[in-house]
Amino acid sequence: MTTPASAPDHDLQHIAPRDQAEILAQALPYIRKFHGKTIVIKYGGNAMTDPALQQDFAEDVVLLKLVGMNPVVVHGGGPQIDEALAKIGKKGTFVQGMRVTDEETMEVVEWVLAGQVQQDIVGLINAAGGKAVGLTGRDGGLIRARKLRMKDKADPNKEHDVGQVGDIVAIDPSVVKALQDDQFIPVISPLGFGEHNENYNINADVVAGKLAEVLKAEKLMLLTNTPGVLDKNGQLLTDLTAREIDELFADGTISGGMLPKIASALDAAKSGVNAVHIIDGRVPHAMLLEVLTDQAFGTMIRSH
């Protein structure tokens, strides 16, 4: 029986040394190209709940840091929040893909995201050899927010009250930059604060998108439970422009939980983030394959 420490060697036994060298050499141009660049990663879906995929994710983040890139992790926690709400007899409700967050739900959201989930991710990255530090939007005044005014999709004159859900007013990235420069990997919970110190739950895809813009990230990577953006026939669209995405919104191809995800990706692409990738987080090491090879493991969105 192999011990966990020797498992990676075991996995590579079927690959000849020459092929291993070839694989490493192919990664070199990408390592050179992205050295010193910031990569914002939205961590969610199966990659967050499957122990083997959690391990892969942590190793990928540490490797990107070790080869000179600056990964910043923003995490969600939908399933974990639903689980915690169920324990107190509450059921989550959603409007247009956004969680309705009353005061009691907000307490649970804060406890789950900034406590349990964030600390799990920090622990995983540290165990894989990195130096992760957990932050919320309050730390260093990172995310200032106000109450989200959500317009109805069908009737723009109608607004939905989704409770303590926040809309980002401003991001001050100085705390993130200070950590990055000091060899740390920031792990950010999508919680913001208002002008009267109120708490807001913010969609993690939105936080990741805005953070990528403010940090002038080279890439924004959104890990999901889908192969990427699919067309009407369920075929993967590997490369999309802003105009093509507007068409997919208009004809209803993109809907539900994918709406905030794609909208954030599109905003980031239009605001100077070079490439936005929506990646299948169920594929082991999908993130590494996306950054260090020319294989497409999802959908890439370009501004034009």
Per run of 10 residues, the mean pLDDT along the chain (length 304 residues) is 42 71 86 94 88 93 95 93 93 83 94 95 97 96 94 86 94 95 94 95 93 94 87 84 82 74 85 89 89 82 77
Q: What share of the chain is helix, strand, coil (3-state, %, to 5)?
A: 45, 25, 35
Which residue, among 59, 77, 282, has the nearest Cα to 190 in the 3D structure? Answer: 77
Domain CATH for 120: 3.40.1160.10
Is residue 266 in a domain?
A: yes
How high is the pLDDT of residue 301?
87
User: Is the separation of the CB atoms in 248 and 302 below 8 Å?
Assistant: no
How high is the pLDDT of residue 13?
63
Number of domains in the chain: 1
How high is the pLDDT of residue 9?
43
Q: Spell out a b/e string for 247-265, using b for 16 or more CB atoms within 10 Å of the CB, else e.
A: ebeeeeebeebbbbbbbbb
201 is in an annotated binding site: yes
Is residue 213 in a domain?
A: yes
Is residue 22 in a domain?
A: no
User: Is the separation of the CB atoms in 219 and 277 below 8 Å?
Assistant: yes
How high is the pLDDT of residue 106?
95
Tell me how far apart the alpha carbons of residues 167 and 148 are, in angstroms, rounded to a whole number.
5
Is residue 265 in a domain?
A: yes
How high is the pLDDT of residue 262?
84
77 is in an annotated binding site: yes
302 is in an annotated binding site: no
Tell me how far apart the alpha carbons of residues 43 and 19 are, in angstroms, rounded to a whole number.
31
192 is in an annotated binding site: no
The structure tokens listed for 246 are: 């507007």
Is residue 18 in a domain?
A: no
Residues 6+ apart with CB under 8 A from 227: 236, 280, 298
Q: Which pTM value belongs to this model? A: 0.89
Tell me how far apart the alpha carbons of residues 42 and 30 are, in angstroms, rounded to a whole number.
21
Is residue 227 in a domain?
A: yes
User: Is the separation of the CB atoms in 230 and 278 below 8 Å?
Assistant: no
Is residue 23 in a domain?
A: no
